[in-house]
């Protein structure tokens, strides 16, 4: 089969489109013919940190069709349309076929396209866990989403509105209209406004990618507000873990989210997508052989929504 494999010595991109052996499902696994994959910051950050999957194939968010099942599989049958997050199962999505334990995949709603289904898992679940689990979101709270135009941010805006909040998105000029179209009540253009120096206060702040100082974010929280840092570079994550607890000694809390794949959460989000309550924002789509180009685009940090790799032509 065709796949995109990480090769440390490959120049310049380290991601090589090549032939590899098709995986064989174990007794408790499903073999999926992959249709679409969405890229995540977790892919390129893992590469930078040297955290390489066993088979050297990245790609967690998949959608596709079941090709074969192991003898112990009861929930799925060949021909079923599925989606899932394989971050907890060794990645492997950037290939024509991938095996996965059934705990990591679910049935794709018929009304949802393969591209839409692949765009949901990691980014959508991260936004959900940040708002619901870390921030304990409540109706009528004021929520600030720093980085509202990216994969996580686009879902965070929609979910915060779903939970009944007043939402302010922070993005660049070119993405302001997109953030409003997703339901945000207000948009701040970070190229024009020093939004962390305002007198306005927020009950919840989601800092996606951790680009702003913790103490500055803490200052614009309400007296019992919660800041949740999502993602970021290794140094940013280290600072958040090291200093976050110090800044949380009072009534304001500063948390770092390490999102986990969760099938129940993903089913919940797929249900919202099926009902039209949320929608993926897909920036660009590439064929599998152009994965290195797509990854480089994502790494630039200016994508407006999700970047999708389509494998079935």
Checking if the pLDDT of 233 tops 60, the result is: no
Checking if the pLDDT of 236 tops 60, the result is: no
Q: Give residue-wise pLDDT tens across range 13-23.
A: 899 999 999 99
Checking if the pLDDT of 27 tops 60, the result is: yes
**246 and 175 both lie in a single domain:** yes
What's the token pair of residue 70? 């192991």
Measure the CA dihedral 28/33/36/38, to 10°: 30
Q: Does residue 9 lie in a domain region?
A: yes
Q: What is the CATH number of the domain that holds 169?
A: 3.40.50.720
Q: Give residue-wise pLDDT tens across range 198-219.
A: 899 999 999 997 678 888 899 9
**158 and 240 both lie in a single domain:** yes
Q: Does residue 274 lie in a domain region?
A: no
CA-CA distances (angstroms) from residue 207 to 5, 135, 243? 32, 12, 15
The pTM for the full model equals: 0.93
Checking if the pLDDT of 270 tops 80, the result is: yes
**206 and 94 both lie in a single domain:** no
Residues 6+ apart with CB under 8 A from 290: none
**129 and 116 both lie in a single domain:** no
Checking if the pLDDT of 245 tops 70, the result is: no
What pLDDT sits at residue 312? 87
CA distance linking residue 163 with residue 155, whole number of Å? 12
Per the CB < 8 A criterion, the answer to whether 131 and 58 are in contact is no
Q: Does residue 143 lie in a domain region?
A: yes
**114 and 130 both lie in a single domain:** no
Number of domains in the chain: 2
**129 and 106 both lie in a single domain:** no
**250 and 136 both lie in a single domain:** yes
Q: Does residue 166 lie in a domain region?
A: yes
Q: What is the CATH number of the domain that holds 78?
A: 3.90.180.10
Checking if the pLDDT of 255 tops 90, the result is: no
Helix ranges (DSSP H) in 50-185: 114-119, 121-128, 151-162, 176-181
What percent of the chain is modeled with pLDDT above 90?
Answer: 81
Per the CB < 8 A criterion, the answer to whether 188 and 168 are in contact is yes
Q: Does residue 268 lie in a domain region?
A: no
Distance, first Cα to last Cα, the chain = 14
CA-CA distances (angstroms) from residue 251 to 135, 247, 257? 13, 10, 19
**Interval 147-168 mean pLDDT:** 97
**26 and 116 both lie in a single domain:** yes
What's the token pair of residue 195? 């939004």
Q: Does residue 272 lie in a domain region?
A: no
**109 and 127 both lie in a single domain:** no
Helix ranges (DSSP H) in 129-262: 151-162, 176-181, 214-219, 234-247
**131 and 198 both lie in a single domain:** yes
Per the CB < 8 A criterion, the answer to whether 207 and 131 are in contact is no
Q: Give residue-wise pLDDT tens across range 96-123.
A: 999 999 999 999 999 999 999 999 999 9
**238 and 161 both lie in a single domain:** yes
Q: Does residue 275 lie in a domain region?
A: no
The strand ranges marked E within the chain are 2-6, 15-19, 29-38, 61-69, 81-85, 97-101, 105-107, 142-146, 166-171, 186-189, 202-208, 221-230, 253-257, 282-287, 306-310
Q: Give residue-wise pLDDT tens across range 58-76.
A: 999 999 999 999 999 999 9
CA distance linking residue 294 with residue 20, whole number of Å? 21
What pLDDT sits at residue 28? 95
CA distance linking residue 308 with residue 32, whole number of Å? 17
Per the CB < 8 A criterion, the answer to whether 69 and 77 are in contact is yes
φ and ψ at residue 237, rounded to 5 degrees: -65, -40
Q: Does residue 269 lie in a domain region?
A: no
What pLDDT sits at residue 239? 60
**Interval 254-279 mean pLDDT:** 94
**128 and 200 both lie in a single domain:** yes
Q: Which domain holds residue 249?
A: 123-257
């Amino acid at each position: 089969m065709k796949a995109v494999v990480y090769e440390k010595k490959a120049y310049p991109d380290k991601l090589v489109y090549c032939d590899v052996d098709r995986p064989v499902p174990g007794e408790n696994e499903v073999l999926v013919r992959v249709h679409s994959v969405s890229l995540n910051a977790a892919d390129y950050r893992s590469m930078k940190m040297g955290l390489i999957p066993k088979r050297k194939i990245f790609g967690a968010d998949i959608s596709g069709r079941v090709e074969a099942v192991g003898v112990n599989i009861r929930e799925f049958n060949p021909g079923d349309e599925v989606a899932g997050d394989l971050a907890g199962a060794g990645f492997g999505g950037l290939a024509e076929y991938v095996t996965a334990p059934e705990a990591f995949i679910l049935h794709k709603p018929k009304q949802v396209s393969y591209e839409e289904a692949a765009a949901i898992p990691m980014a959508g679940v991260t936004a959900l866990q940040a708002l619901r689990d870390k921030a304990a979101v409540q109706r009528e709270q004021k929520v600030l989403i720093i980085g509202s135009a990216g994969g996580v941010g686009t879902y965070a805006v929609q979910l915060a509105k779903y939970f009944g909040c007043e939402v302010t998105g922070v993005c660049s000029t070119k993405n302001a209209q997109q953030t409003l179209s997703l339901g945000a009540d207000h948009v701040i253009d970070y190229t024009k406004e020093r939004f962390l120096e305002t007198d306005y206060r927020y009950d919840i702040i989601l800092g996606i990618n951790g680009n702003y100082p913790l103490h500055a974010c803490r200052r614009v929280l309400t007296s019992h507000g919660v800041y949740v840092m999502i993602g970021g570079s290794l140094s940013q994550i280290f600072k958040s873990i090291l200093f976050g607890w110090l800044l949380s000694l009072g009534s304001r809390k500063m948390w770092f989210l390490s999102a986990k794949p969760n099938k129940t959460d993903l089913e919940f989000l797929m249900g919202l997508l099926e009902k039209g309550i949320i929608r993926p924002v897909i920036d660009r789509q590439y064929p599998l052989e152009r994965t290195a180009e797509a990854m480089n685009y994502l790494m630039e940090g200016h994508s407006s929504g999700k970047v999708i790799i389509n494998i079935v032509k």
